[in-house]
Amino acid sequence: MNAVRRGRTRLFMLFLALWAAVVVARLAQVQIAQGSRYRARAARQQERRIEIKGSRGSILDREGRELAVSVEAASVYAIPDEIESPRAAAQALSPLLGMPAPEVQEKLTSERGFTWVKRQIDAATGERVRALKLAGVHLVAEPRRFYPKGHLGAAVLGFVGTDDAGLAGLEHLYDKTIRGKPGEIIALTDARRSRYGEAETASSRPAQEGASLVLSIDSGIQFAAENELAASMAEHRAKSGSVVVLDPWNGEILAMASWPDFDPNDFARYAPDARRNHAIADSYEPGSTFKIVTGALAVDEGVVSLDEIIDTGDGTIRVANTTIQEADRHRYGALTLGGILEHSSNIGIIRVGMRLGPRRLYDGARSFGVGQSTGVDLPGENSGIFRPLPRWSALSNAEISMGQEVSLNALQLARIGAVIANGGKLVQPHIVTKIVEPGGAVRAVAAPEPVRVVSEATARSLANIMIGVVERGNSGKAAIPGFSVAGKTGTAQKAGMGGYMPGHHIPNFVGFAPADAPRCVAVVVVEEPQGKYYAADVAAPLFSRVMSQALGILRVAPREQRVPMAVLAEAAPERPPRYAAGVLPASRRDPASRSADDRTPSAIGMSAREALAAFARLGVLARLQGTGFVVAQDPPAGSPIRPGAVHTLFLADSTASPSRAGGRRAEEAAPAPSAP
């Protein structure tokens, strides 16, 4: 019996030894041979790797004002395996996320282990989602693109998709520069698959911010251009329009407005035409504004002199069996080149262009950049149309001379105007001036050196002619009180299939100011206005309003002033300000030079700048009270001017017309507005 018991005990001990050996072997296999595999599997069950976008760099205007920034937003993601009831979760999320419940449920039942439900929702919505405490539904912070000034400069800035890719404008062209580098976080989950934190491991990496762009755009001038353009579009019920304001010396774009416009914060709800940058994407026949190119080339080539008389006859000319006549059948008779541009004579400029001949006209126009992209750092530029010389017809020399058979975009026309304004050089338009790295390093973006196109003397002669066009010709509505303005109108018919379309016009204007020391070139284009359509009535007034505000924002003083308006208005007689050598403002000139019959002028309805200029011309010191337009004055208009007296002008916004009030407020501000 004892022997049997001992045998059983030995058998049991042997079994235990064998079982222990198997367990130890299996443990050795799991922990040593297959340890890395099971540790990785455990990590996958306990960790979720989520890629996080890096913040895009900011886009700033020339004064450092923010036009595009990255802000923190919440993104909702799901782990389908962790969701207990996809249908119930979808019903709860649908109203919060603004998505149909079936669409949400489809995401929650995805076969993938990770799926985005909705990205970049606002913080308040994110908190409401978090409060639901749905198993398998989580939130993570991500950067979202935000445009603090809304519509301002939208066509230039472009917009960004939810995948952080720039889809238009500067956001698209400089996408690689300003897009941040993505990072990765590791979300930790417990046994119930609930997220409880984030792990910092050697394999995780932080997101990196992209570089920032500094633009040549001035927010104040951009606001004025967009505001006035929108008012003009409404007044004339036009199809589209654009405004470009350019520094003629270095090619910096100070403003580029396009209408219709859009809000890049919600770009998807706008039609493609509203998101189009009409200033560079649309080309059109310029019509008479092109006559400055023909005139400049003719003067530079010596085929016509400034005082030469050119006979325009009875207002018709026969070219290649085709009769061409003046607009509205005018007859101007004998004209100089200045008279040809002042009257915008088709016959006169054709005779000048025929003297140039096809080769010189073609080569010269190409040197002005006609038919070529400007090279501006924006996507989507239309280079226009300018056929090679072998494809010219017998009529081309005549028609191109007066701005037909050739098409330009607004920026190309602004560059042509800059050639005349800066003394004969072709500049490279550009909009990005600096790139600022996240660490603070600044890299300047240099533009190519201007290239001489015509002589300085030729450019000066054309500038003087363009001054005459505004002062004596048909462009009087482009004038700006206190400034000399040079400019030229153009009213082109819109070309279509089979020829020009009756009733479809594109009035445009190019000009610069002050004409004696140009600070800005501006081009305005209005497509298909209703009712009035001549550039003198549509484009010239729009140019005047935009340019006057641009000069005010840039603090360019009228010719009657040589010191800031604030000094003229507030200087006390007992403490006269110091002026630069040789400079004396009109308000400080000897009042004895005035006639005893001089009377106080009426300033009612004038802007602050216009009123100060009017009083300065008479050597009278004026003080301003309020902002906007003059509604009263003391002493009253018509009273005798007393030497040394200070006249008080009372201003209010109530007199501003609805279409111009917003733009005028920008003009009245001494500094450019920080948040237009």
Q: Which residues form the catalytic set?
A: 288
Q: At what angle do helices 456-471 and 291-301 cross, to 10 degrees?
A: 140
Q: Return the SS3 of 560.
A: coil
Pairwise CA distance, residues 399 & 394, whole Å: 10
Residue 188 phi/psi, 5-degree rounding, is -95, 135
Pair 172, 267: CB distance under 8 Å: no
3-state helix, strand, coil in the chain (%, to 5): 40, 25, 40
Residue 129 structure tokens: 């989602």
Closest alpha carbon to 545 in 256, 236, 225, 247: 225
For 411-452, give the DSSP string: HHHHHHHHHHHTTSEE---B-EEEEE-TTS-EEE-PPPPPEE
**How far lies 336's CA from each of 220, 344, 345, 490, in Å?**
40, 12, 11, 19
Pair 567, 577: CB distance under 8 Å: yes
Q: Return the SS3 of 214.
A: strand
Pair 609, 552: CB distance under 8 Å: yes
Peptide bond into 591 cis (omega under 30): no
Pair 468, 342: CB distance under 8 Å: yes
Pairwise CA distance, residues 649 & 293, whole Å: 45
CB-facing half-sphere around the CA of 316: CA atoms within 13 A: 6
Q: At what angle do helices 661-668 and 608-617 cross, to 10 degrees?
A: 50
List, in sequence order, the alpha helices (H) in 163-285: 169-173, 175-178, 219-236, 278-281
Query: How many degrees, rounded to 5, is the angle at CA 588 between CA 585 and CA 592?
Result: 130
Pairwise CA distance, residues 196 & 51, whole Å: 18
Beta strands in 22-85, from DSSP E residues, in sequence order: 47-52, 59-60, 66-78
For 261-303, give the DSSP string: ---GGGGGGS-TTTTS-HHHH--B--GGGGHHHHHHHHHHHTS
Pair 73, 120: CB distance under 8 Å: yes
Pair 229, 255: CB distance under 8 Å: no
Residue matched to tokens 């859009």: 262
Residue 165 structure tokens: 């890719």
Residue 332 structure tokens: 């101007």
